[in-house]
Chains A and B, each alone.
Chain A
Amino acid sequence: MKTFNYHSAKDVKEASKLASSNSAFLAGGMTTIPSIKLGLATYKDIINIKNIKSLSGIKASSKTLKIGATTKHVEVANSKDVKKAIPSLAALAEGIGDPQVRNRGTIGGSIANNDPSADYPSACIALNAVIHTNSRKIEAEKFFKGMFETALKSGEIIEAIEFSIPEKSNYQKYPNPASRYAVVGVYVAKHKGEVNVAVTGAKSCVYNDKDLAKALSKNFSSSVIDNVKISSSGMNSDIHASAEYRANMIRVFAKKAVEAC
């Protein structure tokens, strides 16, 4: 492993100041550390942001649920506020990786990494999340740009993720048997006046399936899903599943999610 200079920032301002084009912020490190170990990433500076208290915690209001960037998966999974406001989000957190990953990994880290198979990006899209950074607020639809790519700029730090509390929601996934990443994951959320159907694991980046969303907005019933065309074009095909399999799983999980709502 290539070495780096380790820093521990006491506040967001200091962390942002230490950042450069050759640095990474370190929260749980559940992707950053393996990437460094495997030689997939090298950095001159690693900036620990776990000691910045303002970045952690869960706040519920009547319309939204705001989760600090360094809040761990285990905290989201066990939070009474999350279970009450958006139970599907607590269930999603409970299904990430394994207990040791959930004890370290953070929501902000997951979103900043934007792994095409990660769970949290689908929650952001389905729940109309707003990503609060140290310089602006970004809508989830504009945040996830492509494979491992987000709208974040150098030195920009996610401070919190604010989710809209839906009327109903449910997340279904087929976890990879080894990593528990989603081979395919579908997050259905029914808001007042609209439905979102966020899909992860199927393409190079999370997306809202507009056709499914439109059909379910008119009639929120699993029976309408059979009439929606789901093309496998552009979908991932690998040793875990073919593109056609993934397309079919989206239909299966969308139905299951609607029925579980």
Chain B
Amino acid sequence: MSKISLEVNGKKITKEVPDHTLLSVFLREILNLTGTHVGCDTSQCGACVVHVDGKSIKSCTAFAADLNGSKITTIEGIAQNGKMHPMQEAFKKLHGLQCGFCTPGMVMSAIDLLQNNKKPSDTEIRDWLEGNICRCTGYQNIVAAVKEAASKM
């Protein structure tokens, strides 16, 4: 067992967890933050993307014990005062989703893109979303949503 202290969506948390606990399991099963989805569980699909110290990572491929002292932001942590994040707004407005399973990861990954590149081109958006798989939309509206969010952020 490892005792870990970290910050999740601005809230300080200390828990004792088995050493092999994945971050995705820690978030979903211990903190009940089920907005982070687990699709493939093999770090390919990107549904589980969260931010660790501001950078996007796949939470199914990180140990919670390894993130002691980190600041973690999940999809539940990006709305402010009940108002959706501009990226969420854009996905809603432009139908950047159908079933919605991949959406938490898409949104978290796309926010990280705009942190690195404020005005990405279509190609840059598609390159960046290489690690996020959507089986419904064909990506067209996702790319449009990321561009819309870029114009608002």
Contacts and interface: CB of A to CB of B under 8 A. Distances in A.
Contact of A50 (B41, B46, B66): B66
Interface in B19-45: 19-20, 22, 41-44
Contact of A103 (B20, B46, B55): B55
B19 A3 contact: yes
Given A3-B19, A6-B19, A97 B131 contact: yes
Contacts of A3: 18-20
A50 B128 CA distance: 25
A73 B119 CA distance: 23
Interface string A45-67: 01010100000000000000000
A104 B66 CA distance: 12
Given A99-B131, A100-B109, A6 B65 contact: yes
A206 B49 CA distance: 32
Contact of B63 (A29, A74, A98): A29
A192 interface: no
A46 B62 CA distance: 13
Contact of B56 (A30, A97, A103): A103
A103 B18 CA distance: 25
Interface in B38-93: 41-44, 46, 49, 55-58, 61-63, 65-66, 68
Nearest to B64: A6
Contact of B57 (A6, A103, A179): A103
Contact of B58 (A1, A6, A100, A178): A100
Given A30-B61, A48-B66, A99 B56 contact: yes
A227 to B, nearest CB: 36
A34 B58 CA distance: 12
B57 A46 contact: no
A99 B130 contact: yes
B62 A29 contact: yes
A104 B57 contact: yes
Please classify the interface of chain B as helix (H, G, I), strand (E, B), loop, or mixed, using the class held by over half of its residues: mixed
A112 B68 CA distance: 25
Interface in B106-142: 109, 112-113, 128, 130-132
A104 B61 contact: yes
Nearest to A26: B66
A148 interface: no
B151 interface: no
A17 interface: no
The range of chain A's interface size is 20 to 34
B2 interface: yes
A50 B52 CA distance: 14
Nearest to B41: A37
Contact of B43 (A2, A5, A30, A50): A30
Contacts of A100: 43, 46, 49, 56-58, 109, 131
A33 interface: yes
A98 B61 contact: no
Contact of B44 (A4, A33, A104, A179): A179
Interface in A1-50: 1-6, 8, 26, 29-30, 33-34, 36-38, 46, 48, 50
A245 to B, nearest CB: 23
Nearest to A6: B19
17 contacts: A26-B63, A29-B63, A33-B61, A34-B42, A34-B61, A36-B20, A37-B22, A38-B42, A98-B132, A99-B109, A99-B112, A99-B128, A100-B49, A100-B56, A101-B58, A103-B55, A179-B44
Interface of B: 2, 18-20, 22, 41-44, 46, 49, 55-58, 61-63, 65-66, 68, 109, 112-113, 128, 130-132
